[in-house]
Amino acid sequence: MQTPNSSSRRIGALLIVAAIALLVALPMLVKGFFLFQITMVLCMALAVMGLNIVVGYGGQLSLGHGAVFAIGAYVAAVGMDSFALHWLPAVVIAGLVCLAFGVLFGWPSLRLKGHHLALATFALALAMPQILKHRSIETWTGGVQGVMVFNSPVPDWLPLSREVFVFYLVLAVVLIAFFGTAALFRSRMGRAIIAVKENQIAAASMGVNVTRTKLATFALSCLLTGLAGALYTLITEYVSPDSFDLMKSILLLVAVMVGGAGTILGPLVGAVFIQFVPNLAEQVSQSATSAIYAGFLLIMVFFMPTGVVGFVRGLLIRLRARR
């Protein structure tokens, strides 16, 4: 099997440019709820990109990225609500808090071998809604009520509606994360991350500090997912503890797998899936929504075991081989 050659890379670059152009023009084409949904897809894509770094490239399992998303969302919400922060520092602080959280949480879990990270993150995801509701932090988090954030993030000099402004903001962060991740995995550090996934002993004997690399992978993934959480607060203007349950973490994982673990474009495709397929399933049948959703998922698993992006890549390679 060949890795993508220059001509297919050029086609890929053209498609990406076209997609970006379409996204930039989107607020002029669609309005209201659909624009909101697309903004949500981009926000989820950012969260999935974060998880994809640790699962797809790092080869570690995290069942708790929904909780990291929640931390990002709450830090931004509390920052803007209780501490009257401007949205920009609130979002930046939320990202940094999640990065630090990734280091502190990942350090003990990643020193151990095997599935400890999966178990530890699973515990985190289970506990997160209750932690957010806990009485000791109720003054800031509002307990079961959650936090509402009403102040508009749009600067005075910009003639944009709130929805359109937030859309462009999310799009900008997603693009930076997208090209940043793509560059990372062509760099020395990114290759070390993949080497650790493929063969830890070989990576170590080539001079890679395995523990530190795993920790950096996890922390970086928490940064992206936490930023997505902070942007989520800007989109919905409201955070509540029960929207960040274990299911959130599982859905992010589903998106990684469906899109294509360890691919750059996979998270975007996966985010579209988890955002739109539930609605689609509801349109097919109101009474059996979950069953139909599960059906979609099973079809994906059977026909595209390497995710949509992996499937398309395989298809292109086979087509080229036939010519």
Partner 1 sequence: MSEMLLETRALGAGYGPVTVLRDIAVQIPKGQITALIGANGAGKTTLLRAISGLCATSGDILFDGSPITRLATNRIAARGIAHVPDGRGTLAGLSVEDNLLVGGYLQRRRAARAAGIERIYSHFPKLKQRRHQQAGTLSGGEQQMLAIGRALMQGPRLLMLDEPSFGLAPLIVRELFTIIADINRTEGLSILLVEQNVHQALSMSQRAILIEHGQVARSGPSAEFLGNDDIRRAYLGS
Provide the binding-site residues for partner 1, judged by CB under 8 A: 1-3, 5, 188, 191-192, 194-195, 198-199, 201-210
Q: Quote the least distance from Cβ 31 to partner 1, whole Å.
A: 44
Q: Quote the least distance from Cβ 317 to partner 1, whole Å.
A: 10
- Closest C-alpha among 109, 133, 122 to residue 247: 122
How many C-beta neighbours within 10 Å does residue 56 have? 25
Tokens representing 15 are: 């498609």
d(CA 189, CA 213): 8
The answer to whether the CB of 174 falls within 8 A of the CB of 231 is no
Of 8 and 161, nearer to partner 1 (C-beta) is 8
Provide the H-helix boundaries in 142-288. Answer: 162-184, 188-198, 200-205, 210-236, 246-259, 266-284
Of 77 and 304, nearer to partner 1 (C-beta) is 304
Of 209 and 285, nearer to partner 1 (C-beta) is 209
Of 116 and 191, nearer to partner 1 (C-beta) is 191
- Closest C-alpha among 131, 63, 141, 68 to residue 103: 68
Q: Quote the least distance from Cβ 197 to partner 1, whole Å.
A: 8
Interior angle at CA 146, CA 142 and CA 149, nearest 5: 100
- 11: amino acid identity, one letter: I
Of 82 and 187, nearer to partner 1 (C-beta) is 187
127 alpha-carbon distance from chain centroid: 20
Q: Quote the least distance from Cβ 257 to partner 1, whole Å.
A: 17
Q: Quote the least distance from Cβ 104 to partner 1, whole Å.
A: 22
Label the pairing between strands 147-148 and 238-239.
antiparallel
- 56: amino acid identity, one letter: G
Of 135 and 323, nearer to partner 1 (C-beta) is 323
